[in-house]
Chains A and B, each alone.
Chain A
Amino acid sequence: MIAPEIIESFSDLEDLQENEIKALATLAEEERYKPGEYIFQEDSPAAKLYLLLEGRIEMMMATNAEGTQRAMVMTVGPGEIFGWSSLVGPYQLTASAHCATPVRVVAITASGVRALMTMSCSMGYRLMQKACQTASHRLGATRVQLLSTIGSTGA
């Protein structure tokens, strides 16, 4: 569990009600990572929603079948939220989160967030809207990646 003020400090979550913020805080833990570490890998089950407190994360997608080559599709900075796939089916991560610097994050158990969302419409709407935005960006980045893959393989 973490202090509710930390959750509230994220602009995407500041509109939530006090009880919603408290509920999220009870589902959250702080985690620390070293530069070079991966918080999660593409294709694994998405179990947590992450709020970045300190550091920089590079979201990477595989560009070959073995997953040995990767392209960066976006970066995440302090104050931003990532791991949105934990809120939408099939709950599978669409990119790997690489720590470019030492990182401090708040990790929130996603099953708890999803349960809260079904009980609170305003929270559900707000989070879904943000998730839509991120999914839409990621879709754009994946399409660009797909086009360049088609270009390079001559498919």
Chain B
Amino acid sequence: MVTPEILTAFPFFAGLSETELRSVSIIANKASFQRGDLMFREDDIAHALYLLIDGWVDIVVNTDATGEQHELVTTLSPGDIFGWSALVDPYLYTGSAVCASPVEAIEFKGADLLGMFELDPKLCCVIMRRVCQSIADRLHATRLQMVSLFVAH
């Protein structure tokens, strides 16, 4: 488990009540990785959601049917949430996460999150809304990236 204080340092968990933070911190686990480690692979069953605490994580996607070709789509930095497929149907990772440096992350197992949600629907709503917002923010950032490429040419 992880202390609530560590979680509140990150915007994703800001504004939660003490009880809610406690519930979330109980199911949170610290996870450390080395540079080059594969945290999860595209198309694998999404068993966990992650909050990046320290380091950089590359998100890589397959660009051909055989899975031989990969492209880097984004690099995540501390505070970013990833692996959200652990909460979203069909519960399969949509990209691979490779550590670009030594990494410290907090891992939330999907099964633990869903169990917590059964007990506290309101918390469930709050977390789901924030996960949705994270994806939407990522989508808007990616679109801006694309538009800036158009303008440059």
Footprint of B on A, CB under 8 Å? Answer: 61-65, 85, 87-90, 92, 94, 117, 121-122, 124-125, 128-129, 131-133, 135-136, 138-140, 142-147, 149-150, 153, 155
> Does B94 have its Cβ within 8 Å of any Cβ on chain A?
yes
- Say yes or no: is B84 at the interface (Cβ < 8 Å to chain A): yes
Q: Is B75 an interface residue (CB 8 A)?
A: no
CA distance A56 to B152 in the complex (A): 34
- Interchain residue pairs A-B with the least CB separation, the first 10: A65-B150, A121-B121, A128-B128, A135-B135, A124-B125, A88-B136, A132-B88, A143-B73, A121-B125, A139-B139
Residue B138 lies at the interface, judged by CB distance under 8 Å to chain A: yes
CB-based contact A147/B63 at 8 Å: yes
In the complex, which range does the number of interface residues on chain B fall in?
Answer: 35 or more
Report how far A87 CA is from B136 CA in the complex, Å. 10
Beyond known contacts A136-B88, A149-B149: 13 more, CB 8 A cutoff: A117-B125, A121-B125, A125-B124, A128-B125, A129-B87, A135-B136, A136-B84, A139-B135, A139-B138, A142-B143, A146-B149, A153-B152, A155-B153
Nearest opposing residue in chain A for B128, CB measure: A128
Interface of B, secondary structure class, is helix
Report how far A126 CA is from B38 CA in the complex, Å.
31
Could you write out 6 A-B pairs with CB less than 8 Å apart? A124-B125, A128-B132, A132-B88, A132-B131, A133-B88, A139-B135
User: CB distance B142 to A146 under 8 Å?
Assistant: yes
Give A109 Cβ to nearest chain B Cβ, in Å: 19
Interface residues of A: mostly helix, strand, loop or mixed? helix
Taken together as a complex, chains A and B put the C-alpha atoms of A122 and B124 apart, in Å, by 9
- A135-B136, A136-B84 given as contacts; is B152 within 8 A of A155 (CB)? yes
Contact residue among B122, B133, B147, B153 (Cβ-Cβ distance under 8 Å from A153):
B153
Q: How far is the CA of A62 from the CA of B150 in the complex (A)?
A: 10
- A133: which of B89, B121, B142, B143 is its contact (CB, 8 Å)? B89
A85 to B128, CA, bound (A): 15
Chain A residues with Cβ below 8 Å from B84 are 132, 136
Cβ of B35 within 8 Å of any chain A Cβ, yes or no, is no
**B129 x A124 contact (CB < 8 A):** yes
A132: chain B residues at CB < 8 Å are 84, 87-88, 128, 131-132, 135
